[in-house]
Structure 1
Amino acid sequence: MTAAFTPPADEPLTSKEGWSRWVQHDPRPPELHLDWPHLSPVEQAAYDDARLDYHSDLIVVNTPTIQEVVKTVRRLLILNRRQISARRGLIITGGAGTGKTTAITQLGRAHELSVALRNPVTGPRIPVVYVTVPPAATPRMLAVEFARFLGMPLASRSNITDVTNAVCAVLCDVGCDLVLVDEIHNLNLATRAGAEASDQLKYFSERIPATFVYSGINVERANLFTGTRGEQIASRFATIATRPFAYGTTVQRENWRALVATLEQALRLHRHKAGTLARHGEYLYQRSRGMIGSLSHLIRGAAIDAILDGTEKITKAHLDAIRLDHAAETVTPTPSPARHRRQRPGAA
């Protein structure tokens, strides 16, 4: 389990500086001081602030979905080593809030750390690129996103060919072998702009010797697999679907309780008793709709309140006081029947 990290506003994950800072972030939680009641007011404030900052981070759990994504892409990276063209890729698809971005970024982080461990080099190296598809993206907009990640200066008169060639040359030089493209649902192959942007991504995949991984909301509904272009994507990309955790069978309920227990173990509170949240498993499921992101927000928010009010433990009142996203507050999940027990639970 790791704690996520948000780079400064001027260094988002879609820049090499922000991405590198996030990958190298040390997620270790702060230690609890046994003598905390005897700290001076200044020391207490600093101590509490460190714990508040820790709980403000999104706690990422190594869910079965993340494990499957990492395992699948590691295999693809090896299979694609000798491929000159038509490299195989992966698409992560699912509903909003089911953990697609978490899965894709954790994949990139794991790969970059693995590359650094296996092949320590002194020269410039960028093994992973992470970009998002802008709304109503055009081919040039996509090319600019890649250039922006690399920090390449672009002249106002640079045409798409210039930008594309420069991006491909740099990524080949720095040894990029994994390209992560998020928000792929913004490409609509039924429109001319979407079709041309899709062609631009395909061109990048032919020029850059890397494995491409896409992530988006219910990509099947975004016409990503329709028409000639869609058929080509479907023939080259496998898919992994992210879903909320289910709660209909005994095994599913046990998996949910284990998830709650994992998040509970990450808390840094002095009076909280282990197992307290597990006893509220059904309540937490109903509040979060089985979404690990909503569950994490609920628990971390309650922990923050417990520090601020001095109780140092999460109570039902703390949980009741946390407002979640609109979808979680307005939709009551229906426990999945036993025949769905093999569906993959989502990530944070």
Structure 2
Amino acid sequence: MRSPDTTPPAEETSAGAVTTFDAFARFAHAAPPTPPQPGQAPRSPEERLAYHSQFVTVRTPAIETLSRSVRTLMILGRHQSVTARPSLIVTGPATTGKTTALLEVGRTCHLAHTRRAAPGDDSVPVAYVLVPPGATAKTLAGEFARYLGIPVTTRMTTTQITTAVCHTYAAAGVKLVLIDEIHRLNPRTSSGAEAADWLKDLTERVRATFVYAGIDVTDSAVFTGVRGAQLAGRASLIDCGALPARAGEREPFRELIASLEQALDLHAHRAGSLPKLASYLHERTAGRIGSLSRLIRQAAIEAILDSSERITKTLLDGIALDHLAEEHYRPRNPARRHTRPNGR
């Protein structure tokens, strides 16, 4: 596991907050939170609270795999113009870092384009779209239009919106389209089937690489029926599951904990104490990256607020996590308290 990367914490960025190009560009160019540096003047408690609220993003195996796959597929499909290009689907349980991986890859692509672009180049390399709940062809088309600020009126037909989207995306030079919450698409309903057909049509008309992300996509309605078979036949899967405690000779979860610990800004925390709790933390979080990040960040904030300035097992055990993590942990520990005890 690599050390903390200097990237904004995408998971803490509301996905809905970056669904326009201007907002995505601000996210991509935002100054990243930086861990404490040797010789740096101590930061104030307020600054450290803000830092742990944001925190760093660690490049997980899923981000590494997705980055490499996207780069390869963008080259593979660069001159493919007759049929849809090969695509990717990031799948896995909730809170395992799918949106983080998607946004990090989009950010990397956006910044790489910005560095290469000539002065005055106003092309748009990346589009990020959320599938709306109960998506129809028209509402999905509207989300694509909204990203680039394409005017849409209630009187416009789906065909009219689609024509505007395809023309504008081509003119803007969009090369990578990221579609999040794809599990919301339900081809079993008539409106969902129309939305799935619309999306398939879009992938054939927009010359870009499409990457989808969703919760347990292979078990959802997205892969069912003829439409699901078409998507499955074009897309490679990247499993963004929970991190195992051990993978061969490596201990990826312990490595992740060590990377997060290195980024802490606490005055009295003992280095190496969190990796020693790897088994406990894996049990607490079920190996889910989102749950682990929240637990460590929340513990760091509490350690600053109560002036202890260190994270201990007692402190960690007193923090209530998300329901999924708690349901995983509670049956094995029925006597566990759900509020933090006074003692350390």
The TM-score range, normalised by the shorter chain, is 0.7 to 0.9
Residue 266 (1) aligns with residue 266 (2): no
Do 2:246 and 2:252's aligned partners in 1 also have CA atoms closer than 8 Å?
Answer: no
Shift of the 121–161 alpha-carbon distance from structure 1 to 2, 3 Å rule, reads farther
Counterpart contact for 2:99–2:180, Cα < 8 Å: yes
C-alpha contact 1:7 1:18 (8 A) present in aligned 2: no
1:224-243 alignment, distance < 5 Å: 224-243=222-241
How far did 1:333 drift?
10
Q: How does 1:165-176 map to 2 (within 5 A)?
A: 165-176=163-174
Letter in 1 for 2:96: T
Distance, in Å, in 1 between the alignment partners of 2:219 and 2:35 is 44
Separation in 2, partners of 1:206, 1:86: 4
Which SS does the other structure have where 2:110 is aligned? helix
Q: Which residue number in structure 2 is paired with residue 223 of structure 1?
A: 221
Residue number in structure 2 paired with 1:59: 56
Instruction: Return the offset for 1:19.
Output: 0.8
| Corresponding residue number in structure 2 for 1:18 | 23
1:338 aligns with: none
Report the Cα offset of residue 34 of structure 1: 7.0
Offset, 1:285: 1.1
**7 and 292 in structure 1: CA distance in 2 versus 1, 3 angstrom threshold:** closer
* Structure-1 residue corresponding to 2:337: none
Are residues 162 and 248 of structure 1, via their aligned partners in 2, closer, same or farther at CA, if it must alter by over 3 Å?
same
Instruction: Output the amino acid matched with 1:29.
Output: T
Residues 133-174 of structure 1 show CA distances to partners (whole Å, capped at 9, x for unaligned) of 111110000000011111222223122122111111111111
1:148 pairs with 2:146: yes
In structure 2, stretches of 5+ residues that fail to align are: 332-344
Alpha-carbon distance, 1:228 to partner: 2.1
SS in 2 for 1:29: coil
Give, in whole Å, the separation in 2 of the partners of 1:333 and 1:98.
19
**What's the counterpart of residue 336 of structure 2?**
none
Matching residue within 244, 247, 270 for 1:246? 244
Q: Which of 289, 303, 314 is equivalent to 2:311?
A: 314
Give the SS at the match of 1:215.
strand
Are 1:30 and 1:50, in contact at CA under 8 Å, matched by a contact in 2?
no
Deviation at 1:58, TM superposition (A): 5.0
TM-score when normalising by structure 1 = 0.87
Q: Is the 8 A contact 1:93 1:100 kept in 2?
A: yes
Matched, 1:291 2:296: no
- Structure 1: tracts of 5 or more residues without a match: 37-43, 335-348
**8 Å contact from structure 1 (residues 137, 193) kept in 2:** yes
> TM-score, with normalisation over the residues of structure 2?
0.88
CA distance in 2: counterparts of 1:81 and 1:35, whole angstroms:
48
Tell me, in whole angstroms, the C-alpha distance in 1 between the residues paired with 2:200 and 2:123: 23
Say if 2:119 is the partner of 1:114: no
RMSD value, Cα = 2.2
Q: Deviations over 1:206-229 (max 9, x none)?
A: 111100011111112223233222
Cα distance in 2 for partners of 1:249, 1:119 equals 41
Aligned partners of 1:31 and 1:166: how far apart in 2? Answer: 48
Shift of 1:192: 1.4
Contact 2:33 2:51 in 1 (8 A): no
> In structure 2, how many angstroms separate the alpha carbons of the residues matched to 1:272 and 1:30?
14
8 Å CA contact 1:290–1:333 kept in 2: the answer is no
Moved more, 134-143 or 144-153: 144-153
- For the structure 1 residues 35 and 138, does the alpha-carbon distance in structure 2 shift closer, same or farther, using more than 3 Å as the test? closer
Report how far residue 128 of structure 1 moved: 0.5
> Do the aligned residues in 1 keep the contact of 2:303 with 2:309 (CA within 8 Å)?
yes
Residue pair 1:289, 1:333 contacting (<8 A) in 2 also = no
Q: Does 1:80 align with 2:77?
A: yes
Distance 2:303 2:138 in 1: 49
Partner-residue secondary structure (3-state), 1:274: coil
Number of residue-to-residue matches in the alignment: 323
Report Cα offsets for 1:249-306 as digits up to 9, x if no partner: 6735x32221111000010111112101111111111111111111111111111011
Match of 2:322 in 1: 325
| Secondary structure of 1:179 counterpart | strand
**Structure 2 CA distance for aligned equivalents of residues 161 and 13 of structure 1:** 26
Bigger shift: residues 158-167 or 210-219: 158-167
